[in-house]
């Protein structure tokens, strides 16, 4: 039997030993918990670097970067909404047809009935909300699976588009409406080599980004979650700020920030905040993660599901207006395959088929991966047939990586 005299006087009791973790262990935990997000960011950076070299610098020319944003804006809008739908544990196959239908309605209102474009835009968004509510009712309150309801919606809205347009294109649109997809924020201030308002917006974005990162770090520490060491956290903030500065200077050296980019940033900020901090955002994650447990916890699953599809309808309507404004015409074939592009962007950006996983920013990253692939392959002369094959392989690799990561997490 050990007595107190047998112990070393200055040896602390084992129960009171502080647990100190190395910087490498903390970094490993953070990377493991965010493997999909960081993985897609790294993949996007590598794809950009590859095509920047392959195109002899054409990819990141200011005019091409602006074109890249405008060309993929409607897919990014759809991807944001689709990410929320998938997080809730559902799917929406109707968004491409709804894009065409709302674009057709907007065109008829402006061209045939001479309504002001602002009024037509507001009414178009309202029509999108009604369409989303229609589908949300059948899914949430009647109990029909979202796959079936939105498949029916895909056929319904595609046929309605043909009826509204009578098989013909409707054009042109007022200049103000075209500016939604084709315009840039106006220049102000003294003449410089750069677009002044873009520089101001870039500076504000850097400040907001750093402040948000600091707040997130404090929140994680308050909940005793693993955080990066100060040096690595500073390096992360510096890298993110540098990326924003590079994009800002690139856009400022052309015509400035596209109007549609401001719309996208607003959507990311608002929906990102809702999904992270608002009660309904937490309910969406809970519903997608475990519906039975969420209902037992008091989540109003029918109401949440209904609102998720209303939101998707509004975003599909917005994407329809942006797409029509970019083409300066409403066509019967608009929106074809848009739903698959949006779904692919969501899964590449970190969504899970089981629901309950994903972020709004992840949807944008996934959409940019597809957009840069499309743009880069077009610049080097790769045909659309090969482009489809490559995008399919990228989607398969992203989902396969998600499955592998889940299995690895289960076994460890």
Same domain, 264 and 379: yes
Same domain, 363 and 248: no
Residue 6, pLDDT score: 47
Specify if 17 maps to a domain: no
Cβ distance 103 to 318 under 8 Å?
Answer: no
Instruction: Reduce the DSSP state of residue 57 to 3 states and report it.
Output: coil
Specify if 213 maps to a domain: yes
Cβ distance 135 to 150 under 8 Å?
Answer: yes
Domain final position from 196, 222, 257: 257
Residue 412: CB atoms within 10 A of its CB come to 6
Residue 412, pLDDT score: 61
Which residue in the block uniquely carries the two structure tokens 């040896």? 11
Nearest by Cα to 107 from 326, 312, 348? 326
Domain final position from 223, 238, 257: 257
Tens-place pLDDT, residues 229-251: 888 889 889 988 999 999 999 99
Same domain, 318 and 178: yes
User: DSSP alpha helices (H): ranges in 109-145?
Assistant: 117-137
Tens-place pLDDT, residues 73-130: 999 999 999 999 999 999 999 999 999 999 999 999 999 999 999 999 999 999 999 9
Specify if 412 maps to a domain: no
Domain final position from 238, 257, 276: 257
Same domain, 134 and 274: yes
Q: Which residue has the higher pLDDT, 7 or 244?
A: 244
Same domain, 246 and 272: no
Same domain, 286 and 399: yes
Specify if 237 maps to a domain: yes
Number of domains making up the chain: 2
Angle CA(370)–CA(336)–CA(349) in degrees, nearest 5? 25
Least confident of 147-156, 256-265, 380-389: 380-389
Dist CA 316 CA 128 (whole Å): 7
The CATH number of residue 353's host domain is 1.10.3470
Which residue in the block uniquely carries the two structure tokens 């992203």? 398
Same domain, 222 and 343: no
Same domain, 146 and 228: no
Dist CA 408 CA 357 (whole Å): 17
Instruction: Reduce the DSSP state of residue 298 to 3 states and report it.
Output: coil
Same domain, 239 and 336: no
Q: Which residue has the higher pLDDT, 7 or 44?
A: 44
Range of the domain at 205: 185-257
Tens-place pLDDT, residues 330-351: 999 999 999 999 999 999 988 8
Same domain, 204 and 266: no
Rounded to an integer, the average pLDDT of 20-34 is 59
Specify if 411 maps to a domain: no
Residue 319, pLDDT score: 97
Which tokens is 140 given?
């949430």
Same domain, 175 and 306: yes
Specify if 20 maps to a domain: no
Same domain, 140 and 281: yes
Specify if 178 maps to a domain: yes
């Amino acid at each position: 039997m050990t007595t107190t005299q047998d112990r070393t006087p200055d040896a602390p009791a084992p129960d009171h030993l502080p647990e100190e973790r190395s910087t490498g262990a903390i970094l490993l935990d953070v990377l493991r918990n965010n493997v999909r997000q960081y993985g897609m960011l790294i993949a996007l950076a590598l794809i950009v670097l590859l095509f920047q070299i392959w195109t002899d610098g054409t990819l990141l020319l200011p005019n091409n970067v602006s074109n890249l944003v405008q060309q993929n804006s409607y897919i990014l809008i759809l991807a944001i909404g689709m990410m929320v739908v998938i997080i809730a544990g559902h799917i929406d196959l109707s968004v491409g047809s709804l894009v065409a239908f709302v674009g057709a309605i907007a065109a008829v209102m402006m061209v045939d009935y001479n309504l002001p474009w602002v009024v037509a835009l507001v009414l178009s968004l309202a029509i999108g909300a009604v369409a989303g509510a229609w589908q949300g009712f059948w899914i949430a309150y009647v109990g029909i699976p979202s796959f079936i309801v939105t498949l029916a919606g895909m056929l319904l809205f595609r046929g309605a588009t043909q009826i509204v347009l009578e098989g013909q294109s409707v054009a042109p649109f007022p200049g103000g409406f075209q500016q939604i997809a084709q315009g840039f924020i106006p220049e102000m201030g003294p003449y410089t080599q750069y677009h002044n308002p873009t520089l101001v917006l870039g500076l504000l974005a850097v400040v907001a980004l750093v402040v948000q990162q600091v707040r997130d770090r404090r929140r994680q520490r308050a909940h005793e979650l693993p955080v990066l060491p100060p040096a690595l956290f500073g390096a992360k903030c510096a890298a993110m700020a540098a990326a924003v500065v590079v994009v800002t200077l690139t856009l400022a050296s052309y015509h400035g920030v596209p109007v549609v980019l401001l719309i996208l940033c607003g959507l990311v900020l608002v929906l990102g905040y809702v999904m992270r901090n608002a009660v309904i955002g937490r309910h969406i994650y809970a519903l997608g993660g475990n519906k039975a447990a969420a209902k037992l916890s008091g989540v109003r699953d029918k109401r949440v599901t209904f609102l998720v599809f209303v939101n998707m309808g509004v975003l599909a309507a917005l994407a329809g207006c942006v797409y029509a404004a970019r083409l300066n015409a409403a066509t019967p074939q608009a929106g074809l395959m848009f739903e698959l592009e949006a779904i692919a962007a969501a899964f590449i950006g970190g969504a899970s088929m089981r629901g309950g996983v994903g972020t709004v920013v992840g949807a944008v990253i996934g959409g940019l991966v597809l957009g840069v692939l499309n743009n880069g392959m077009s610049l080097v002369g790769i045909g659309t047939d090969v482009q489809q094959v490559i995008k399919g392989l990228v989607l398969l690799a992203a989902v396969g990586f998600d499955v592998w990561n889940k299995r690895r997490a289960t076994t460890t």
